[in-house]
Structure 1
Amino acid sequence: MSLLENLNWRHAVKAYDPAKKVSEEDLNKILEAARLAPTSSGLQPFRVIVVSNQDLKEKMVKGALNPEVMRDSSHVLVFAAWDSYSNEKIDKVYDFHTDVRELPRGRFSSYTDKLKVIYGVQTAEEHFAHTARQTYIALGLAMAQAAELRVDSTPAEGFSNERVDEILNLKELGLKSVSLLYLGYRDEKNDWLSHMKKVRIPMEEFIVNK
C-alpha cells in the first residue's frame, strides 16, 4: 500500500474495541517513526509517554473530550514537550551527537553558542511554544506509521493538560503535555465515522499557487 492509500484509509476513530490490543512489535514501529521525526536543530525537545495501564487511563479520562475513546483504546501516547530550553539541555544533546558520530565534544560549539543566545533572551512561555510545535511532526509520522500497519489512531487535544501532567508526574521531568494519540482497533459497530466518506477540501482550493 502507498502512503496516500494509507492516509485515505485512516480516520480519527470514534470508538475502539477494548478487547483488541496493539502488539508490542507494531507499537515499537509507531514509536520509532516518532523518534525519527526531524526537529529544530536536532534537539528532540520532547518525549513520548506510553500509557497502557488501564488504571492510569481511568484517572486521565476526567476532562477528556472523548473519555470512552481514551478508555477503550489499546494505548495512549502522550506527546510532552520540554517546558523550557537551557544551556545544559543543549550541551547534553550535542555531546550525545558528537559521541555517536565519534567527534570531539564541542565540535558544534559555534552553533550551540548561537542557540544559547537566541533562547537566552526568550521567556519560558516562548520556549514551550517552540518545543510544543516540534511534537506535531512526530505525531503526524506516528499516525502515518500506524496507518501502514492498519492500526487505528485518534489524535487529541481535548483533554486536561494539567490533570495528565499531574498523573504522569511530567513536571518532575521538565515536560508539559501537548497532545495525545490514541491507538487501537476500531469498533465497527459503534465507530460512527468508520463508514462515512473521507472529506477534505478540493486540491484546487487547498493549494495556492503564486
Structure 2
Amino acid sequence: MNLLQDLKWRYATKKFDASKGIQEDDLQKLKEAVQLSVSSYGLQLYKVLIIQNKELKSQLRKAAWNQAQLTDASHIFVFCNYTERKNEHIDKYIEATSKIQDTPLEKLAGYGDLIKESLSAKSDAAWQNWSEKQTYLALSNLLTACAALKIDSCPMEGFEQEKFNTILGLDQKGLNAAVIAPVGYRSAEDHTQFRKKVRKPKEFLFEEIQ
C-alpha cells in the first residue's frame, strides 16, 4: 500500500533546503487536497493562507521563536479559524449544496436551521475550541498529500498567535491563526530524517470492541 510507505517516509522536517521551491502544479494539488478535507457539517469554517513572500516569512519567523523552517521552507500554510459565529456562513453552504446537488433550497432549510441551532448553543469558549479543531482536519489532508507528492512538511503550534494575527491582519478579518505548516524540501543536513519513527505499538494504541 503506497499510502503507508508515504506516511513512513514523511517526518516533521526541521531543516528545509531554501534553494528548492514547490512547483505550481504540485502547489495546486496541495490546495485541492486541503479543499477536499472533511469538516463538521461540511462547513469548512476556516481560511488557509499560503505565504511565499520572503519579507513576510521573515516577520513570521520572529513571531515563531526564530525557527528556521519559517524562512527556509518554500511556502507556509497558515490555517485560520473564524472567531465569530455567522449565520451567513451556513446560508452560503446551504446555497452551494442546493446548486451543486441540484436540491431545492426549501428541502435544505431544516438542515441549515439545525446547524445554526447546534452552533449557537455552544459557549464562546466551546466555539473557539471547536472552530480551531476544524483546521486540524484540513492540516491532516495537507500532510498526507505532501507525503504522497514527496514534499516535506512540518506542522507547528510553536508560534505566537497574537503576533501572527497582527502581522497577517487577521483580527480585522475575524480570523485566528490556529496552526501552521511550512512545506518544501528537506535539507541533506537535516539529520532528523534518518531517525527511526517512534510510535506506540498497535496493541497499546488500539482496543477493538466486538
Aligned residues of 1:95 and 1:106 also touching (Cα < 8 A): no
**Contiguous gaps of at least 5 residues in structure 1:** none
Match of 2:194 in 1: 195
* Per-residue Cα deviation, 1:150-169 (whole angstroms, up to 9, x for no partner): 10000000001111111111
1:17-56 → structure 2 map (5 Å cutoff)? 17-56=17-56
- Give the TM-score taking structure 2 as reference length: 0.94
Match of 2:94 in 1: 94
Aligned residues of 1:83 and 1:124 also touching (Cα < 8 A): no
- Give the TM-score taking structure 1 as reference length: 0.94
3-state SS of 2:155 partner: strand
Match of 2:67 in 1: 67
Match of 1:5 in 2: 5
Report which stretch shifted further, 64-73 or 1-10. Answer: 64-73
- Name the count of aligned residue pairs: 209
Shift of residue 125, structure 1, vs aligned partner: 2.8
Match of 1:205 in 2: 204
Match of 2:112 in 1: 112
Match of 2:124 in 1: 124
User: How far apart are the structure 1 equivalents of 2:24 and 2:180?
Assistant: 19
User: How far apart are the structure 2 equivalents of 1:167 and 1:72?
Assistant: 19
Shift of residue 66, structure 1, vs aligned partner: 5.6
Root-mean-square deviation (CA, aligned residues, Å) is 1.5
Aligned residues of 2:80 and 2:175 also touching (Cα < 8 A): yes
**Contiguous gaps of at least 5 residues in structure 2:** none
Structure 1 segments of 4+ aligned residues over 3 angstroms from their partners? none
3-state SS of 2:25 partner: helix
Report which stretch shifted further, 112-121 or 3-12. Answer: 112-121
Shift of residue 180, structure 1, vs aligned partner: 0.4
